[in-house]
Amino acid sequence: MRLLITRSAEEADSLATLLGAKGHDCLVAPLIEIVPRPGVAIDTTGVQGFLVTSANGARALSRATARRDLPVYAVGDASARCAADLGFVPVHSADGDVEALAALVAATARPRDGRLVHAAAATLAGDLAGRLRGAGFSVDCITLYDSVTATSLPPPRHKAWLHGHLTGFCFSLPAPRRRLLPSPGPRVPIWPRGRPTAFRRRWRRRWRPSASAGFWSPPAPPKPT
């Protein structure tokens, strides 16, 4: 398959390498740029652990603190692996969403042991801090980076899409995909990242898994009666 990868540059190259090893031809066109906020340093006094809800959050956390000995609670396996690769120990994965992460923290940490620091983006998905505060934890949500959305596809990639030279695309977030790409046709499968957000849950009601594992294709039209 010839795939368009729209993830951020930090993730697109590694994904292209992985898919290339499986025989896919990949075009990289990041629609999201991760911009670290300069000069942000985390005061770890009284901190019992860190919260990360993406691999980008783990990378931003590594730039904001030299501490690697405090527990990291990650929303999923990908963000947990990224944190571990950056030297954080121990790392716990919720293997789920914000609700699963809040449940993991509540089950393994104690409010009296100190505050938690969420390595966050400017725009948050879900209210992780609110859930944990409701369980008695003190949570500092520190914005470490911004996600800047591109306004258009690079011309060669846009041309490849319009002329039908692609057989699928991989995206990280629904908003850039919806804004910059036309609605996918019946022969264009989609590979979203990770577990579904609220948008992807709605999307799943209209789309079904195709025979190609990990990809999505539209349901067949109803048969005439």
The predicted-structure confidence for 112-158, as pLDDT tens digits, reads as follows: 999 999 999 998 888 999 999 999 999 999 999 998 877 666 666 55
Q: Confidence band (pLDDT; 50, 70, 90) for 29?
A: confident
Lowest mean pLDDT among 13-27, 116-130, 195-209: 195-209
What local confidence, expressed as pLDDT, does residue 97 receive? 92
184 token code pair: 């996918």
CATH topology of domain 35-147: Rossmann fold (3.40.50)
Q: Has residue 190 got a pLDDT over 60? A: no
Distances (CA, A) of 54 to 26, 62, 65: 23, 13, 17
CB 40 within 8 A of CB 145: no
CATH class of this structure's domain 2-31+153-217? alpha beta
- Rounded distance between C-alpha atoms, residue 185 and residue 200, angstroms: 17
Q: Has residue 69 got a pLDDT over 90? A: yes
Question: pTM (2 decimals)?
Answer: 0.69
CATH 3.40.50.10090 domain locations along the chain: 2-31+153-217, 35-147
DSSP state, residue 221: P
- Rounded distance between C-alpha atoms, residue 40 and residue 36, angstroms: 9
pLDDT digits (tens, 9 = 90+) for 57-68: 999 999 999 999
